[in-house]
Structure formats: structure tokens, C-alpha cells
Structure 1
Amino acid sequence: MRPHPVAKGIADAIARRDPPGLASALTETVRLRALLPGGAIQTHGREGVAARLVSFFADFDTVDVLESAGEDVADLLLIHYRLAVSQGATAWLCTQTSVCKLVDERLAVINLLCSGFREVNHDDHVAV
């Protein structure tokens, strides 16, 4: 995978915890299906999906994008990003990978797999 403007935009909006900014990259009827460590979820609609994606990171003091990348796979877009998050003195890493369908340059379908929050030392946040 390589740097990709859509992947960067999605990761940056999530890290900023910016639902309106994220919503601008989604179709009105977008569908999110996500497999999280706690189980599967499904959300529909631009505002609902944007709010749900941002809500995963709402309780953290900081959310930083360490890397983001994307790759076209025929008519789909593979998006991957790695985030460093912290709350007080505790730090975690989280990766999310999505297979997405684009319509008019916006995400219409998002099938997301999340690593969950993996506790690390603060110095483990180095981007690779």
C-alpha cells in the first residue's frame, strides 16, 4: 500500500474527532459494517456513520495518525491507518483496515476491521 489522499483524509478526520469533516467524505446513504473486538456493528447514513467512527476515540486525550495508506483493488479501495491514542499516562495503538466502495469519490460502503486498543509504552508510538 502507499499514501492515498482518501485514506489520509479519513484518518485525519477521525484523529481530529471531526464528524462534519468525516461526513464530507461519505455518501448520504453510506453503510458501515465493522468487526470490533467487542463484536460486530452496523450503522447507516452519513451523519450516523461519521459519528460512530469518531465515537470510537471520543474518550481519549490524544489521537495521532502514525500512518495511513490506501490501494485500489479493482472497483474497491483498501484503506488502512494506525493511530496512537492516550489517556493520562496510558498509551495504546489501534489499527483499522477497511474495504470500501466509492461512489462519486465518496465512501458508500465501509467494511472495517479494528485491532482494538493495544496498550504500549509512549515511546512505542514511532511511525514506521
Structure 2
Amino acid sequence: VSIQFGTDGWRAVIGDTFTFGNLRLVSQAIADAVTSPDWLDEEHQNHDPNLMVVGYDTRFLSDRFAREVARVLAGNGIKVYLAHADAPTPAISYSVKHLKAAGAVMITASHNAPRYNGVKIKAAYGGSAQPSQCR
């Protein structure tokens, strides 16, 4: 199964391609990227390179998917601030800035149909991670 990232992350049908197994693969890739020396740009060197925020929306299993992302990140030695309840993506972006985190993972499929879920990766500035950060 090929995991394809689009304009703002990865979205797929829950239980088809969006599975816990594939989510673990994506989460490990995120952990590898965040722990690389290139993740934080010069403007955000004051952010904690070892802290990530994880949030989720109200979709089916989003809370469990978020906990799995947090588990993988923590398994890589990354401190995780896991949202205690569902939250909109802008609130997670704000948390990145407020906590001076390295970035965030948001479990959401945005405007896609309810059978989808997805992963958005946020950089230290709170917005979408740059393509160069996601290779």
C-alpha cells in the first residue's frame, strides 16, 4: 500500500488505507524528520526541538489515532503534549506557538467525507510543514 501525501498531509479512507499500521509508519517518519537537525529553521531556534503537540478532531477513532501518534513519538524520546479533547486545527497550531514546540500532528481529514481521516503536520511556526521538512 502506498501512502500518498497531498497538499496538506495524508488523507485516506478509515480502515482501508488509514489504518493503525500505516499511521505508525507515518508517525515514525514524522519522528525521524522532527529529530533531524534541519527541522527547526533559524527563526524558531528558541522552540523545544524535543516537544510535539498532537491534536485530533471529532471523526471516528480520531482520539485513538492521536494516542497512537503520541505513543510512537514518545517511543522516539520526543515529549508529547496530547490534547485532552477534540480541537480545531487552528487551536493546535496556536499550541505549537504558545508552547514553543517543534511542531504538531493533527489527526483530521478536514473537508473530506466522513469515511476519511488524515494527518496534518505543523511546523514550529504553527502552519503546515514545508515540503522540504516532509521528505
TM-score normalized by structure 1? 0.31
Bigger helix share: 2
TM-score by length of 2: 0.30
